[in-house]
Amino acid sequence: MNKLFSIFLLSIVGTSISQVNVEPINWHNTAKAGLHTEQAYELLKNKKSTTVIVAVIDSGVDCEHEDLVGKIWTNPKEIPTNNIDDDGNGFIDDIHGWNFLGNAKGEMQDYACFEKVRIYRSFRDKFERLKESQVKPEDKNDYKLYLDLKNEIANEVIEYQGYQKQNEQFPILIKYIPQAVGQILGNPNYTLQDLSKWKPKDEEGKELKMLAEAILNGGLNLEIIKEQTEQVDAALNYQLNVDYNDRQFVDDNPSDFSQVTYGNNVVEGKDANHGTHVAGIIAAVRKNNLGLDGVADNAQIMVLRAVPNGDEQDKDIALAIRYAVDNGAKIINMSFGKGYSPFQKEVYDALAYANSKDVLLVHAAGNEHKNIDVEPNFPTPLYSFQKEKLPLFITIGASTKNAKKYLAADFSNYGKIQVDVFAPGKDIYSTIPKSAYKKYDGTSMAAPMVAGVAALLKSYFPSLTMLQIKNNILLSAKYYGKTKQIIPGTENKSRFSELSATGGVVDLLEAVKLCEIEVEKLK
């Protein structure tokens, strides 16, 4: 196998052999390194709860899902389908939230460019015909960024073109690997246990073992390859395509923050897989013998569609945050992020507005296995123009069930300053559209774990502020700081305390205990 092909295969399978696990449904609620959700509910069984609204800024949510019945927020001030803005908030028939990726004709955006592509495109007309000597002194920094992005994008296009050419080999590979491994082991009907005993010494043998194991446990199959192929095609056709007009289905100027009433009320959108998965983690109906048990038993999901297949626009995010705050959300889940943000001040102002209204912002750390203390991930609680972090912003890394060595998921971003705490984000089974279910990995799954925890705590301890709840979540995190763990994206080890501010994994049971103590103090 050539190197590019091997890297691409690893991106599909996702991890080293020792991290491949088939986790049970709801492990994040019950496992030792999970949230201890069921134990927390046992402690709360004699307490009453109040409803808490959680805004999910994402790709959209299937509001008709069987496991989200009664869990979708309904705007009490809006009369459905009368085509009138009954509550006067500027959004017509915003029954369950709003879709910022559409227009009044019902058209909707699906794909979007990466932000670096949009930035490069904005510079292209200005700089592409100029030699460096012709660039004005005041434009030197922009010109350098233009050149850097041009080179970065071109290299990524070449890389994805390589992936695209090799897609056709995958079905053959799925047939070839079991045959090849069967011959090596002398057993065409080998099992996972047989594979565990095989200790190949060369790199090709190690790759074969990893892939054979992935095929046996369902981590690599034709469906996954089809999904990966679609992702590669989307990258080339849309996300990295400098000439793609990614705002053609939205009647606004994404640079003009005074235009605020674009979009429509079709909150499911074109591809609601990601957002529906997030919503289920937070609030799927508990103990109904369907799918999973959501973390929070009395939460309602406000759906704000603002995250396309590509990078979100700063304007959409800023307006979605303000909508959530103005319409009663106490927690905002933000399972998205990007490396560039052209309108940082405008997004910060929206975050600060939420902070001023005692609304908790829960953000996914990102899945590039990088140190975001060094490499930026937006939005952030600490922009370059700030002196202190926003108090009501919490950033979540993804953890696994394997607390001995691989507690930080191999894809998760980390950072002793920027990442506050870890939460389960590997092999998470949750809702997807059409009343279906699927396992996903990502800090996108870890963030709603914490949003659900915050919603549950606010629901049962309404007298506490969201800042008190956030602090209790962090103070009660199960501490793994002294354990040596693999640093995501490397083979090196570090103390877990170096990967986040708390060195811990969220523990709902202990957070409930802290909230009980705090409420007693208030009496």
Element (H, E) at 484: strand 484-486
> Which of the following is catalytic: 58, 67, 93, 252?
252
CA 235 – CA 246 distance, rounded (Å): 13
Using CA atoms in the order 462, 465, 466, 472, what is the torsion angle rounded to 10 degrees?
A: -90
Neighbouring residues of 38: CB distance < 8 A, sequence distance ≥ 6: 29, 30
CA 460 – CA 50 distance, rounded (Å): 7
CA 399 – CA 369 distance, rounded (Å): 12
Residue 395 corresponds to which amino acid?
A: T
Nearest to 281 by CA among 512, 38, 68, 510: 68
Residue 227 corresponds to which amino acid?
A: E
> Which of the following is catalytic: 412, 444, 459, 476?
444
Nearest to 67 by CA among 302, 300, 292: 292
End-to-end Cα distance, the chain: 67
Residue 199 has a CB neighbour count (10 Å cut-off) of 8
Paired tokens of 401:
């069930």
CA 302 – CA 283 distance, rounded (Å): 11
Helix (H), strand (E), coil (C) string for 214-241: HHHCCCCCHHHHHHHHHHHHHHHHHHCC
Under 8 Å between Cβ of 271 and 110: yes
Element (H, E) at 391: none
Under 8 Å between Cβ of 246 and 308: yes
> Which of the following is catalytic: 274, 297, 316, 399?
274
Residue 72, judged by CB atoms within 10 A of its CB (0-12, 13-18, 19+), counts as buried
Paired tokens of 294:
């959501």
Residue 294 phi/psi, 5-degree rounding, is -65, 160
CA 177 – CA 336 distance, rounded (Å): 36
Neighbouring residues of 176: CB distance < 8 A, sequence distance ≥ 6: none
Nearest to 510 by CA among 39, 15, 4: 39
CA 512 – CA 36 distance, rounded (Å): 11
Determine whether 363 is an active site residue: no
Determine whether 274 is an active site residue: yes
Paired tokens of 418:
């920027």
Residue 484 phi/psi, 5-degree rounding, is -85, 125
Determine whether 252 is an active site residue: yes
Give catalytic residues, as residue numbers.
252, 274, 444
